């Protein structure tokens, strides 16, 4: 291992000490949502105990403190991904962030004859908003398919970057396969061809160092709850020129400079996209989450998770009749699998009795499972706070419940 004492890190996560069905919890569902360290839980608690007030609207002390916590989260998050705070719109998560691009950037610009390029491995949050845009503008959707290992077919991607493609929306890391897409090369290539790029960073930010400026995309969407932060927090980074050109998506207080019945003057970006009272407590927590990950070091987090993944793969390779979906080189610690003769939901249900939390189903990626020709998979997704002992206990439990189903 590297310089970090991972058993002490694990102790920072109180939930991981609980039992489920009388067994020590093994939480292998971090791709769904991540667990929270004490510092994040305390930051949320401290906000309501000591600082609770609304942002920006009040001149009193508490209002100033609340605003400071909210704006600090913006600054910390911006530094974490190497962008300017003023180009970061805070919102409820990736789903909102992508919808903001769909409604404010794409809807007014796209028209019949235009194409939106997606990939087979996208989460529904990076499919459905584009379908809504396509329906309303007459644009069509094109899909880049995968190679058998679950990596992108790069030849097809290049072939599909035709002159009518206005926008490419792509996951940085797949939530089902763990595939890490070479978004930097892809976004630079797209930019040369005048294609605007949207990168869904939901599954990347919690697990590896991410330099959004270096990726060279136009938009980068992220969600806080998978990166140790509270639910209902997230952000959209966008190139300044887009932020200035885009109309507001949601109207209300905070996003305006002056309101008259004969016309309203909007605030500057990013505030013109932040109408209404935000999740202030959540962002106080997200600021603490960024501090926590920063202190661990994302390169350490990545190395730790790669080590756990190698161990998990090694153990699973010895389980007879088990097939893994997504084996691309350099993949993240997300393992989708099926076991011959056992339905995914049955396995997950029986594993829960053993204290193991994994996800079963389609993982908000119906088109991907259709491509594999299967109805569901089991998905074990790891985080740095998991342990080698848990991996061994998980595989032992898997063998046991599989025996019950045979
Ligand atoms: N994209 C990917 C790749 C995801 O894994 C998720 C969460 N499962 C989302 C988008 C949606 O994130 P949220 O629900 O936080 O908006």
Per-residue confidence (pLDDT) for residue 275, from 0 to 100:
94
- Could you tell me the two tokens for 73? 């989260």
pLDDT tens for 336-368 read 999 999 999 999 999 999 999 999 999 999 999
For CATH 3.40.640.10, list the domain ranges present in the chain.
Answer: 42-294
- Give the DSSP per-residue string, 268-287: PTTGGG--S---HHHHHHHH
- How many whole angstroms from 283 Cα to the centroid of ligand 1? 18
Question: Taking 70 as the threshold, does the pLDDT of residue 2 lie above it?
Answer: no
pLDDT tens for 367-397 read 999 999 999 999 999 999 999 999 999 999 9
Ligand 1 touching residue 91 (CB < 6 A) = no
The atom number, within ligand 1, closest to the CA of 174 reads 3
- How many whole angstroms from 174 Cα to the centroid of ligand 1? 10
Mean predicted confidence (pLDDT) in 183-194: 98
What's phi and psi for 142, nearest 5 deg? -115, 150
- The residues annotated as belonging to the active site are 364
pLDDT above 70: percentage of residues in the chain: 100
Ligand 1 touching residue 104 (CB < 6 A) = no
Q: How far apart are CA 406 and CA 107, in angstroms?
A: 52
Per-residue confidence (pLDDT) for residue 75, from 0 to 100:
98
Strands 196-200 and 219-223: parallel
pLDDT tens for 18-76 read 999 999 999 999 999 999 999 999 999 999 999 999 997 778 999 999 999 999 999 99
User: Residue written as tokens 């290539």?
Assistant: 189
The atom number, within ligand 1, closest to the CA of 125 reads 10
Write down the mean pLDDT value for the chain.
96
Ligand 1 touching residue 179 (CB < 6 A) = no
- How many whole angstroms from 95 Cα to the centroid of ligand 1? 7
- How many whole angstroms from 16 Cα to the centroid of ligand 1? 23
Q: Supply the DSSP symbol for 342.
A: B
Task: Using CB atoms within 10 Å of the CB of residue 50, give its burial: 0 to 12 exposed, 13 to 18 middle, 19+ buried.
Answer: exposed
- How many whole angstroms from 142 Cα to the centroid of ligand 1? 21
pLDDT tens for 213-240 read 999 999 999 999 999 999 999 999 999 9
If you classify domain 6-32+297-405 with CATH, what class do you get?
alpha beta
- How many whole angstroms from 175 Cα to the centroid of ligand 1? 8
Fold (CATH) for 42-294: 3.40.640
Ligand 1 touching residue 171 (CB < 6 A) = yes
The atom number, within ligand 1, closest to the CA of 96 reads 16
- Give the DSSP per-residue string, 92-147: S-HHHHHHHIIIIIIHHH--TT-EEEEETT--GGGTHHHHHHHHHH--EEEEE-B-
Global pTM value = 0.97
Q: What is the Rg, in whole angstroms, of the alpha carbon atoms belonging to the chain?
A: 22
What's phi and psi for 344, nearest 5 deg? -55, -45
Determine which residue's CA is closest to atom 8 belonging to ligand 1: 32
Closest CA relative to residue 383, chosen from 21, 16, 2: 16
Q: How far apart are CA 321 and CA 141, in angstroms?
A: 37
Q: How far apart are CA 110 and CA 102, in angstroms?
A: 10
Q: How far apart are CA 315 and CA 333, in angstroms?
A: 14
The atom number, within ligand 1, closest to the CA of 234 reads 15
Which H helix or E strand runs over 378? Answer: strand 377-381
Question: Taking 60 as the threshold, does the pLDDT of residue 1 lie above it?
Answer: no
Q: Report the residue count for the chain.
A: 406
Q: How far apart are CA 253 and CA 256, in angstroms?
A: 6
Ligand 1 touching residue 30 (CB < 6 A) = no
CB 319 within 8 A of CB 399: yes
Per-residue confidence (pLDDT) for residue 59, from 0 to 100:
87
User: Which residue out of 125, 363, 381 has the highest number of ligand 1 atoms within 8 Å of its CB and is therefore the one to mutate?
Assistant: 125
User: Which residue out of 202, 229, 379 has the highest number of ligand 1 atoms within 8 Å of its CB and is therefore the one to mutate?
Assistant: 202
Ligand 1 touching residue 363 (CB < 6 A) = no
Closest CA relative to residue 224, chosen from 268, 278, 276: 278
Determine which residue's CA is closest to atom 5 belonging to ligand 1: 175
Ligand 1 touching residue 235 (CB < 6 A) = no
The atom number, within ligand 1, closest to the CA of 231 reads 15
pLDDT tens for 84-116 read 999 999 999 999 999 999 999 999 999 999 999
Task: Using CB atoms within 10 Å of the CB of residue 273, give its burial: 0 to 12 exposed, 13 to 18 middle, 19+ buried.
Answer: buried
- How many whole angstroms from 270 Cα to the centroid of ligand 1? 22
For CATH 3.90.1150.10, list the domain ranges present in the chain.
Answer: 6-32+297-405
Work out the number of other CB atoms within 10 angstroms of the CB of residue 235.
Answer: 30
Per-residue confidence (pLDDT) for residue 57, from 0 to 100:
74
Per-residue confidence (pLDDT) for residue 231, from 0 to 100:
98
CB 282 within 8 A of CB 70: no
Per-residue confidence (pLDDT) for residue 254, from 0 to 100:
83
pLDDT tens for 129-169 read 999 999 999 999 999 999 999 999 999 999 999 999 999 99
Ligand 1 touching residue 202 (CB < 6 A) = yes
């Amino acid at each position: 291992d590297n310089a970090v004492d991972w058993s002490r890190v694990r102790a920072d996560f109180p939930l991981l000490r609980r039992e489920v069905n009388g067994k020590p919890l093994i939480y292998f569902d971090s791709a769904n949502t991540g667990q929270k360290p004490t510092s994040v839980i305390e930051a949320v608690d401290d906000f309501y105990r000591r600082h609770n007030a609304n942002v920006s609207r009040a001149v009193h002390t508490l209002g100033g403190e609340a605003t400071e916590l909210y704006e600090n989260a913006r600054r910390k998050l911006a530094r974490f991904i190497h962008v300017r705070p003023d180009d970061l719109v805070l919102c409820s998560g990736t789903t909102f962030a992508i919808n903001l691009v769909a409604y404010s950037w794409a809807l007014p610009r796209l028209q019949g004859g235009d194409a939106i390029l997606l990939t087979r491995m996208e989460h529904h949050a990076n499919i459905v908003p584009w379908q809504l845009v396509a329906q309303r503008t007459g644009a069509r959707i094109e899909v880049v398919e995968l190679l058998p290992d679950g990596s992108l077919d790069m030849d097809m991607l290049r072939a599909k970057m035709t002159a009518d493609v206005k926008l490419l929306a792509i996951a940085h890391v797949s939530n089902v396969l763990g595939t890490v897409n070479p978004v930097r090369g892809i976004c630079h290539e797209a930019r040369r061809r005048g294609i605007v790029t949207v990168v869904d960073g939901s599954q990347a930010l919690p697990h590896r160092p991410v330099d959004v400026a270096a990726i060279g995309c136009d938009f980068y969407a992220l969600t806080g709850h998978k990166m140790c932060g509270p639910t209902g927090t997230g952000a959209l980074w966008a190139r300044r020129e887009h932020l200035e050109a885009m109309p507001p998506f949601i109207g209300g207080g905070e996003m305006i400079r002056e309101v008259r019945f004969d016309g309203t003057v909007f605030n500057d970006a990013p505030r013109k996209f932040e109408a209404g009272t935000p999740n202030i407590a959540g962002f106080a927590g997200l600021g603490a989450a960024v501090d926590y990950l920063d202190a661990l070091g994302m390169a350490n987090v990545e190395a730790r998770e790669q080590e756990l993944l190698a161990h998990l793969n090694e153990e699973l390779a010895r389980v007879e009749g088990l097939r893994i979906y997504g084996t691309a080189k350099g993949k993240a610690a997300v393992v989708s699998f099926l076991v011959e003769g056992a339905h995914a939901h049955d396995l997950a249900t029986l594993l829960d009795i053993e204290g193991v939390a994994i996800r079963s189903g389609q993982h908000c990626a119906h088109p991907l499972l259709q491509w594999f020709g299967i109805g569901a998979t089991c998905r074990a997704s790891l985080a740095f706070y998991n342990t080698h002992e848990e991996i061994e206990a998980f595989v032992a439990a898997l063998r046991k419940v599989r025996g019950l189903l045979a």
